[in-house]
Amino acid sequence: MHVRGTVAGEVETKTVSTSYGESDLAEVPLRIAAVGDEAARTGATTRDAGSITDGGTSSDAEGGTIADADGSDGGTSAGAHLADGHEPTTVTLWNKWTESADYLEPGMELLVTDAAEDEYQGETRYKTTGDSYVVVEPSFLVNVTSIRNWVECPRLYYLNKLSGVPLNYPVVKGTLVHEVFGDLLRGRDLAESIDARVDERGLELGLLGETADAVAEDVRENATAIEGWLEQGRLTEEDSWRSEQLLISETFGIRGRADAVRRGAPVELKTGKNLKKEPRFKDKVQAACYALLLEEHGGDVDTGTLLYTKNSTLKRNEETGDLTPAKEFSMGEGLLKFVVRQRNELAAMEVAGDIPTGYEGSAKCEYCFEQDTCMVVSGRLDQESKAGQIGQALPDEELEYFERFYRAIEEERREVHREYAKLWEQSAQERADDDRALIDLEFLEKRELEGGRWELRARRTSGANSKIREGDFVLASDGHPVRGNSELAIIERLDDEIVLTADEPVEVTRLDVYPSELTTDRLLVAMHDFLLKGDERRKDVLFGRADPEFETVEETFIDNNDAQNEAVRMAVGAEDFALIHGPPGTGKTYTIARAIRAMVERGERVLLSAFTNRAVDNALEALLDQIGDVIEEDGVASPTQRNGDGEAVDVVRVGSESGVRDDMEPYRLERSGNPEDRVAKLQNAQVVAATTATCGSRVMKEQAFDVALVDEAAQLTEPGTHAAANLAERFVLVGDHEQLPPVVRAENDLTESLFERLVDLYPEAGVMLDRQYRMNQRIQVFASNEFYDGQLRPAEPEVAARTLDDLEGVSRDTLPPELRDPVSFVDVEGDGGRYTDGEEAARIADLIETYEAAGLERSDIGVIAPFRAQVSEISKHVPDDVAVDTVDRFQGSSQEVIIVSFTATGTLEGPIFEDYRRINVALTRPKRALVLVGDSRALASDPVYKRMLEWARA
């Protein structure tokens, strides 16, 4: 039977004499969550456990045997122990599993498979058996490559995570050969595959200075060896192959993608050489990880195959050694258990937030090719390290900064891991309710595509929403993302009918969001680069050791708005950085565009970035409008724009097809194509626009800029801002810290943006744009007084006086008197719902009808609510062409009329109302009319909302 629970106290380790001699044991006090054949193993709820039908994994079979031998039945004892699970139960871990016990701390999760029940002084206990695996924090999914790196050296694993892997040819070639291998397994023609795969990586190859022909030849050499070996196998035996399978083990807490699975056993491809008889140890470890994954998915694996393709390209006379590419080895239980113990050590360290020293492993530093890097990082970060330290440690404030942000980023990572665990810990319905899955789909068809991939189609049977979008990676399954038949797929189209592509066919009935650590990884690397690779002068300024400097610029860039003009001057003249504070409607996007144009005219190369694709595209559009004036004069309609002097300005948007807005597609840099051509396109671009996440990509990290301009900077974490700023000599941040802060999963230091910190630290390095072009004077008053010290004013009399009367066919006189003022309040007591309010929704529907009757277009009206639930409630009451959304999603846009639903009865409770920046955003979206709908008693209970009420009713 399997035992699962939470460590409830200190672990006691001792050595005892047994009939086999001396043995180690560790006694773990465990608060038991589940005991049984299935529920405990998977950590699933009892209800979920019942739905599992295939009890076919080998460990289950063994588990059953042990339970029978003991004469006890896991299923029945489960209920008994769950009921009195408050008192910790002692679980004894024997022999080598005591190693894993060493990492246990109270509060950690522990799983013991195939445990035996024990009576000791009238108390029920559990102990490991010969078949047991002990898994520490099983819900923390560790990557196979992470385990592989960790086994090589824990410090190497850490360095990889911290500094990332830069673009280099061996890695790109290795990836290409793997892709071709996958294609061959799916039956694609070799020559065709090579051409297609090399073409797809045109941009990267170009950056590496490679030509398509040379790379294709190199890949062909390796791939031909594989092809030959595959042919041999086909001739001699009935092979069943599966390529590139993503596997998740909820028992062992491992995830990974096997290159190939042949007759149920893993095959790993390596592009390097190995002249020894045996595979390298770390390669065996990798294969063993896949074996564990495959066992959980119903296999029984006792061999692994390593394929060293370079072996077959070597000449006999070059070296004496074993030149056969394929090396098979048998996988014993000892290796599998070793791998699990290593995984435990890694998981425990990650969960505790510790940093490895290298002493955990046995690798010899003098043989390590990362020795120098390791010593430098250890030295500069003042970390204990087996390799030793070189260089001077960073100043204390920088070390403190590193630790603070490392901790914060790792907390974010653990949140991502919790998302993985929900794949099996939550039921399908819970996942769907959480918008993380689309369930109950009707499978329509599968179709093999050219190149061996598959197109899958399914239809929705309900109108349920989810956060899944086109271009996303999802787990497509025939029922369960982890236990069922499941493939990593890409959403190609998402209407009532859903179109996906995947490597292998699945009869899709369910789609789950596949969480990604990518953003977290990039934040960590960005912080590392800032502290360890960055410019000393920048650090002096950002750590308050030197003041930011500005070159005086006399030129007038914008002649009817002093603050905007000053902002452009500061942006252009900044030696270090400049800050542009742009409250709602103050033309910050225009100001950015003007500043970029000025920089480009000075011959500078500019990076334009923001957190979201939408913000990047908005800013890019404004820039194109500026330089676009000249195109129209010249009649040049191409992505190459011309500047004021008639010189070509090359603008490139870097991003994925699904991320970039359709009208910016002509500017998007396609990654595939001829390497020389691709790289020229990027290197010649004077303006490159990309999200901050993309700025952390290998391709973007090869680029250098004079200036980085970051829009919506108040919504970026500090490391996120570095991702863009690291690529440039100086930077300009544009944003408004009185609007919404960065979105982070955990409560931590990431919630304050670099923008806000610098505004506080160096107010003189910034300008606030104080003229707004959006709101009627009456609408603007509250936000101006409450959030901008009364500094925000209408840019022109026309703006101050704008009303609905200005719109064609609209007359305020036909509105009821209470709606004629630009700001009105509609008191609705509400239905007392927590996250919805049907009465408010109904009232809002009436209001929309009233506005329509007065001649307003429905598309001119927007409705804002604090909760997603209320957004869908309102959507049920109002026509489709009225935009209804959360505050968060309305940021950055505006409407003629905005109706705000407060969704609170009696009191204002909950964190959503505590952040006043959210009301600032909601109240500053309208141009001509704002209607607040809510319960006046609730609103009056908070001083800020009370002032808002007084203003609205005045």
Partner DNA sequence: TCTCTGCCCAGAGGA
Site string for DNA, 234-273 (x = CB under 7 A): ------------x--------xxx-x--------xxxxxx
Considering only the stretches 170-178, 325-333, 528-536, 584-592, report the one whose residues sit in contact with DNA under the rule CB under 7 A: 170-178
Residues 672-691 within binding reach of DNA (CB under 7 A): 690-691
Q: What's the CA dihedral at 659, 662, 667, 672 to 10 degrees?
A: 60
Smallest distance from DNA to CB 284, Å: 13
d(CA 589, CA 754): 19
Which of 6, 90, 175, 224 contacts DNA by CB under 7 A?
175
Site string for DNA, 617-656 (x = CB under 7 A): --------------------------------------xx
Indicate the helix (H) or strand (E) that contains 334.
Answer: helix 333-352
**95: Cβ contacts below 8 Å, ≥ 6 apart:** 23, 24, 25
Q: Give exposure, 726-748, as e/b (b: 16+ Cβ within 10 Å).
A: bbbbbbbbbbbbbbbbbebebeb
Considering only the stretches 439-447, 464-472, 547-555, 635-643, report the one whose residues sit in contact with DNA under the rule CB under 7 A: 464-472
* Residue 21 β-bridge partners: 18
Smallest distance from DNA to CB 62, Å: 26
Rule CB under 7 A: is residue 693 a binding residue for DNA?
yes
Number of H helices, E strands in the chain: 34, 36
Considering only the stretches 61-69, 183-191, 518-526, 944-952, report the one whose residues sit in contact with DNA under the rule CB under 7 A: 518-526
End-to-end Cα, the chain, rounded Å: 71
Considering only the stretches 349-357, 374-382, 610-618, 786-794, report the one whose residues sit in contact with DNA under the rule CB under 7 A: 610-618
Spatial contact of 883 and 925, defined as CB atoms under 8 Å apart = no
Kindly tell me which of 202 and 379 has the beta carbon lying closer to DNA. 202
Triad 300, 301, 306: Cα angle to 5°: 160
Rule CB under 7 A: is residue 52 a binding residue for DNA?
no
Which of 382, 434, 455, 852 contacts DNA by CB under 7 A?
434
Kindly tell me which of 137 and 259 has the beta carbon lying closer to DNA. 259
Q: How far is CA 795 from the centre of its chain?
A: 40
Rule CB under 7 A: is residue 490 a binding residue for DNA?
yes
Site string for DNA, 801-840 (x = CB under 7 A): ----------------------------------x-----
How many residues sit close enough to DNA to count as binding (CB under 7 A)? Answer: 72
Rule CB under 7 A: is residue 191 a binding residue for DNA?
no
Which of 150, 401, 514, 550 contacts DNA by CB under 7 A?
514
Smallest distance from DNA to CB 619, Å: 12
Indicate the helix (H) or strand (E) that contains 437.
Answer: strand 437-438
Spatial contact of 705 and 732, defined as CB atoms under 8 Å apart = no
Rule CB under 7 A: is residue 659 a binding residue for DNA?
yes
Rule CB under 7 A: is residue 431 a binding residue for DNA?
no
* Cα distances (Å, whole numbers) of residue 814 to 455, 775, 804, 820, 845: 55, 22, 11, 9, 18
Rule CB under 7 A: is residue 888 a binding residue for DNA?
yes
Site string for DNA, 520-539 (x = CB under 7 A): x-------------------
Burial of 151 (0-12, 13-18, 19+ CB in 10 A): buried
Rule CB under 7 A: is residue 798 a binding residue for DNA?
no
Smallest distance from DNA to CB 272, Å: 3
Which of 165, 238, 315, 808 contacts DNA by CB under 7 A?
165
* Residue 649 β-bridge partners: 641
Kindly tell me which of 65 and 168 has the beta carbon lying closer to DNA. 168
Rule CB under 7 A: is residue 614 a binding residue for DNA?
yes
Kindly tell me which of 83 and 165 has the beta carbon lying closer to DNA. 165
Spatial contact of 448 and 454, defined as CB atoms under 8 Å apart = yes
Rule CB under 7 A: is residue 450 a binding residue for DNA?
no
Which of 8, 108, 171, 761 contacts DNA by CB under 7 A?
171
Considering only the stretches 113-121, 165-173, 478-486, 825-833, report the one whose residues sit in contact with DNA under the rule CB under 7 A: 165-173
Residues 67-96 within binding reach of DNA (CB under 7 A): none
Considering only the stretches 68-76, 173-181, 640-648, 805-813, report the one whose residues sit in contact with DNA under the rule CB under 7 A: 173-181
Rule CB under 7 A: is residue 862 a binding residue for DNA?
no
Other C-beta atoms lying within 10 Å of the C-beta of residue 556: 9
Indicate the helix (H) or strand (E) that contains 404.
Answer: helix 396-425
Considering only the stretches 107-115, 609-617, 784-792, 800-808, report the one whose residues sit in contact with DNA under the rule CB under 7 A: 609-617
Pairing type for strands 116-120 and 123-127 reads antiparallel
Pairing type for strands 687-691 and 606-610 reads parallel
d(CA 217, CA 209): 15
Considering only the stretches 28-36, 345-353, 760-768, 904-912, report the one whose residues sit in contact with DNA under the rule CB under 7 A: 904-912
Which of 517, 540, 601, 831 contacts DNA by CB under 7 A?
517
Rule CB under 7 A: is residue 467 a binding residue for DNA?
yes
d(CA 261, CA 265): 5
Site string for DNA, 282-301 (x = CB under 7 A): ----x---------------
d(CA 903, CA 910): 11
Smallest distance from DNA to CB 694, Å: 4
Residues 318-377 within binding reach of DNA (CB under 7 A): 369-370
d(CA 467, CA 512): 10
922-925: long-range pairs with CB below 8 Å, 24+ = 922/864, 922/887, 922/890, 922/898, 923/779, 923/782, 923/783, 923/948, 924/583, 924/584, 924/585, 924/774, 924/775, 924/779, 924/780, 924/783, 925/584, 925/862, 925/864, 925/890, 925/893, 925/894, 925/895, 925/898
Q: What share of the chain is helix, strand, coil (3-state, %, to 5)?
A: 45, 20, 35
Smallest distance from DNA to CB 856, Å: 26
Rule CB under 7 A: is residue 726 a binding residue for DNA?
no
| Backbone dihedral angles phi then psi of residue 36, each to the nearest 5 degrees | 160, 180
Smallest distance from DNA to CB 161, Å: 10
Triad 395, 396, 400: Cα angle to 5°: 125
Spatial contact of 710 and 734, defined as CB atoms under 8 Å apart = yes
Kindly tell me which of 11 and 887 has the beta carbon lying closer to DNA. 887
d(CA 41, CA 568): 61
Considering only the stretches 92-100, 169-177, 772-780, 845-853, report the one whose residues sit in contact with DNA under the rule CB under 7 A: 169-177
Residues 127-146 within binding reach of DNA (CB under 7 A): 143-146
Kindly tell me which of 125 and 868 has the beta carbon lying closer to DNA. 868
Question: Tokens standing for 550?
Answer: 């500005």
Site string for DNA, 738-757 (x = CB under 7 A): -----x-x------------
